[in-house]
Structure 1
Amino acid sequence: MEPLLRIALLFLFFHLSILVNSSPSQHLQIINAERRIDLNSHIIKVYLTLKVENSGTSPTSEVHLAFSPAEAEHLAVVKAAATTGKRKKKTYVPLDVKSAELPEGPNGTKFFSITLLTPLSKGETITLEVLYILTHSLEPFPVEISQSESQLVYFRDSAILLSPYHVKQQTTFIKTPSARVESHTVVDPTKRVGTELKYGPYENHSPYSYSPVLVHFENNNPFAVVEELEREIEISHWGSLQITERYKLVHAGAKHKGVFSRVEYQTRSGASGVSSFKHLLAKLPPRVHSVYYRDEIGNISSSHLRTDFLKSELEFEPRYPLFGGWKSTFLIGYGLPLQDFLFESPDGRRYLNFTFGCPLAETVVDKLILKVVLPEGSKDPAAVIPFQVEQHLETKYSYLDIVGRTVVVLEKRNVVPEHNIPFQVYYNFNPIFMLAEPLMLASVFFLLFAASVAYLHMDISIRK
């Protein structure tokens, strides 16, 4: 047993030594890190600039980002780019970012790997620009407010950048919507000027250092959250797209307490219900037509549509203003010309090119279900999306359908405006299927006509 125990211990020591030696913190260090956190909306945007140096002996082609468990739970987007030049001459080269695993990280820490275009050699440096977006990361406090009160929220983070590398120097800037900051954690040096808090500069922090901070501030911007959005895009080869969008909207800010007074809301619009919202803006494609907007009761006429050659904007009002915790369910539908969105690939396949995401501005979608209804007879559908989504197929039956229409269903959670980018759905289609419904209608009318003629020529009387 003793020799086996020694072999096991040697193997374990060898395995651990490999993990330590392969740790990214042994090869890279961050010379300077600047982080700017934008809290103007309930969608938090963090801009991170990193100057990374390879202090090891071998080239490396990856740089890792670390996120705390709280950040990882609400992380919606992570983007990165390499920069060269300064100011107006600065150029950005997008880099691939994907989820990664590091065994030596603290429990619950989520890692992402940035893949460099060319390996970073010993002694070389590179500047990276990173954008990551967080949702549901502002906590209302107090959790309930009256109609006349402003909305105050908590934001929790770290004054020191969580990183798997040694950080030589770093600074964090936090931008609030207004100058009203009830309280904030002080980690010397800390400076506040107007709507901006500055933490740092801090020097020489070891990997995975963390210094929690709490900022309590006023934020009356609308906390518009769509709990579920179902978008259905129906393709008709007879010349149009029909889009139907079903929304379940909620105000996710501090909950309203007390009685709602519409008189006070109308007469004191600048001081009453400052955190509520009654207008929504949907950014639709150009050349939109046949727009309608309704809820469970029926059509709603309080909407305004503005169109031009580049875009269309639908500004509309729910039946009632939305306060914290209040919900609204409604439906928007519109048509679009087919030739603007349906094309033919070189291999003969048809493909739809449309925009993913939610048309509502500054809105978080907890669950997005996007359905692309293909014409009857379509085969071999394939969706191309620039990020990870869940996919499956369904079948839908409409008027005069025989075998049903294939539906490509795409599902994604935690959707933000940065997800509003084009995607494609490819499929094969035989034009002969376009004649199926006209031939069916013609056959029905012919049979009715033949039956009528036969009936008129029949003698069904019992008298001769």
Structure 2
Amino acid sequence: MYKIILTILCLTYVTALERVNNQLVIKNVERSIDLTSQLVKIAATITLENTGKDTVRNFLIVQEPNIVGAVAYLSAKDSLKDDLKIIPVGVENESGKSFRNVLLKQPLDSGRTTTVVLEEVLTQSLVPYPSSISQKEKQLVRYFGNHYFYTPYVTTKQKTEISLSSRTVENYTKLKPVAQSDSSLTYGPYTNIAPFTEDQMIIHFENNAPFLTVTRLERLIEISHWGNIAIEENIEIRHTGAKLKGPFSRYDYQRDTGSNHHSIKSYRTILPASAHSIYYRDSNGNISTSTVRPRKDWIELELRPRFPLFGGWKSSYTLGYSVPSYQYLFKQPSGEYVLIMRLIDHVFDDMFVEELESSIVLPVGVSNVKINAPYEVERLSDGVTYKYFDNIGRTVIRLRKTNLVEQHIQDIEVIYNWTPHLLLHEPVLLSIALFLLFIVVIIYVRLDFSLTKPEHSKKD
């Protein structure tokens, strides 16, 4: 019975999709594709027109099958820059197309138009070619895309602007009209494009931007109601650009003073302005170089690994600091406590994090823990840890997410119940421990455990 109901719902939804496709027409699309870093950033300004008789409250977007796993971030905004809700449809046809439903803030009446801006960030979409280069060679990459905006609707007109990181372009597909100007390419305008039109775009160009990937990030947030929140990050990084071919020469490397090089000498991390007690070390200790520069609204921390990173090379390090709890921990009128803190913070510019595991250590005695995340995260099984003088244990909330970029730097809310008298838990245990220690010392001093009596006691 359940399968029959599910089939009916799917058929009903597919019919609705066909009806919406017939009503909506895309009058114009202006795409900008940013290829200046290791990420592919696509922004599309879409002008929708309702040519049907019924009011439209949503429209569909679809991702090409070859980029579904590469999409790290997807958002939609209206002309007022308000966020629009995106709901996965969960219905894929035989060709593997994945649909999403975008809900409009204002219903689109018949004959009216509206503007929506879609933003996508793709990871691992720039392929080094050749895959291995020598120390002195420049890094070349290839981008595989679509000349047309991929959509289930008829598109009247569209144009694409592509920003490159260099003027050096080996070759690119030439679907006319196309023009190159310095480090940019312009495709179009193209007119009267049928739904689901595909035409492969290939661009082969020089890109020496840092292809630095965080393969794993373990972030620990430890909350204390005594006024401090301690944060520690264990980070594993790898250069995912073209691999180094041949030996590495330190002499040639030091002679090369050019800044446009595919190796990674250093990068900067942004910390909160209130961060203090900052420490940084790698697996061999604090030998690597770090520089702290306080700014007005943040702290800039420049990290320089003990050796430059070439393609295929990797490193790991630990970064920790503390922040005052009053900036992130709040008490609601209902008596609940709310921690508002970023699930992930800035690691480096144009960052790509393959896997994040964030652990939040709550105070002793919390209950009714709830999580409000800005996006979908996987909640792992809760753990328990013991700190100084803990005989009860502290709850550890463990969260996991993969394929993260800078747009995922958003606040997560952790809501829990806690009673203030538990602040006395550790001081009382410490007092009891000291009291027992003093009693033992007093007893030990007072008692005589010798087997023979002193000489002066014998004379008496």
Q: TM-score range by the shorter chain?
A: over 0.9
Q: What is the alpha-carbon distance in structure 2 between the residues aligned to residue 19 and residue 240 of structure 1? A: 56
- Residue number in structure 2 paired with 1:198: 186
- Residue number in structure 2 paired with 1:163: 151
Q: What is the alpha-carbon distance in structure 2 between the residues aligned to residue 315 and residue 186 of structure 1? A: 42
Q: Does 1:126 align with 2:114?
A: yes
Q: What is the alpha-carbon distance in structure 2 between the residues aligned to residue 169 and residue 409 of structure 1? A: 48
The answer to whether the Cα contact below 8 Å between 2:367 and 2:418 also exists between their aligned partners in 1 is: yes
Deviation, 1:78, is 1.0
- Residue number in structure 1 paired with 2:239: 251
The answer to whether the Cα contact below 8 Å between 2:141 and 2:205 also exists between their aligned partners in 1 is: yes
1:357 pairs, out of 318, 329, 344, with 344
Q: What is the alpha-carbon distance in structure 2 between the residues aligned to residue 16 and residue 400 of structure 1? A: 61
Q: What is the alpha-carbon distance in structure 2 between the residues aligned to residue 323 and residue 126 of structure 1? A: 47
- Residue number in structure 1 paired with 2:251: 263
Q: What is the alpha-carbon distance in structure 1 between the residues aligned to residue 225 and residue 450 of structure 2? A: 50
- Residue number in structure 2 paired with 1:457: 446
- Residue number in structure 1 paired with 2:294: 307
Q: Which moved more, 1:376-385 or 1:131-140?
A: 376-385
1:25 pairs, out of 13, 21, 24, with 21
Q: What is the alpha-carbon distance in structure 1 between the residues aligned to residue 236 and residue 96 of structure 2? A: 32
Q: What is the alpha-carbon distance in structure 2 between the residues aligned to residue 274 and residue 18 of structure 1? A: 51
- How do 1:11-22 residues align onto structure 2 when only pairs under 5 Å count? 19=15, 22=18
Give unpaired runs (5+ residues) of structure 1: 1-10, 84-90
Partner secondary structure for residue 168 of structure 1: strand
Number of equivalences: 443
2:401 pairs, out of 404, 412, 418, with 412
* Partner amino acid, structure 2, of 1:410: L
CA-based RMSD of the aligned residues comes to: 1.9
- Residue number in structure 2 paired with 1:6: none
Q: What is the alpha-carbon distance in structure 2 between the residues aligned to residue 21 and residue 223 of structure 1? A: 40
- How do 1:76-91 residues align onto structure 2 when only pairs under 5 Å count? 76-83=72-79, 91=80
Deviation, 1:300, is 2.8
The answer to whether the Cα contact below 8 Å between 1:183 and 1:215 also exists between their aligned partners in 2 is: yes
The superposition leaves residues 99-128 of structure 1 with CA deviations (integer Å, 9 ceiling, x where unpaired) of 22455x561222222100122121111011
- Residue number in structure 1 paired with 2:164: 176
Deviation, 1:351, is 1.5
1:448 pairs, out of 428, 437, 452, with 437
* Partner amino acid, structure 1, of 2:262: S
Deviation, 1:270, is 1.0
* Partner amino acid, structure 1, of 2:303: F
Q: What is the alpha-carbon distance in structure 2 between the residues aligned to residue 93 and residue 359 of structure 1? A: 24
Q: What is the alpha-carbon distance in structure 1 between the residues aligned to residue 218 and residue 114 of structure 2? A: 42
- Residue number in structure 2 paired with 1:43: 39
The answer to whether the Cα contact below 8 Å between 1:61 and 1:116 also exists between their aligned partners in 2 is: yes
- How do 1:38-117 residues align onto structure 2 when only pairs under 5 Å count? 38-83=34-79, 91-102=80-91, 105=93, 107-117=95-105
- Residue number in structure 2 paired with 1:187: 175
- Residue number in structure 2 paired with 1:4: none
The superposition leaves residues 347-372 of structure 1 with CA deviations (integer Å, 9 ceiling, x where unpaired) of 11112111222421221000011111
The answer to whether the Cα contact below 8 Å between 2:288 and 2:306 also exists between their aligned partners in 1 is: no
Q: What is the alpha-carbon distance in structure 1 between the residues aligned to residue 81 and residue 13 of structure 2? A: 38
- Residue number in structure 1 paired with 2:458: none
Partner secondary structure for residue 400 of structure 1: coil
Q: What is the alpha-carbon distance in structure 2 between the residues aligned to residue 294 and residue 375 of structure 1? A: 27
* Partner amino acid, structure 2, of 1:79: S
* Partner amino acid, structure 2, of 1:373: V
* Partner amino acid, structure 1, of 2:88: S
- Residues 1:429 and 1:21: Cα distance change in structure 2 (over 3 Å): closer
- Residue number in structure 2 paired with 1:141: 129
Q: Does 1:402 align with 2:391?
A: yes
Q: Which moved more, 1:387-396 or 1:300-309?
A: 300-309
* Partner amino acid, structure 1, of 2:118: V
% identical equivalent positions:
37
Partner secondary structure for residue 374 of structure 1: strand
* Partner amino acid, structure 2, of 1:193: S
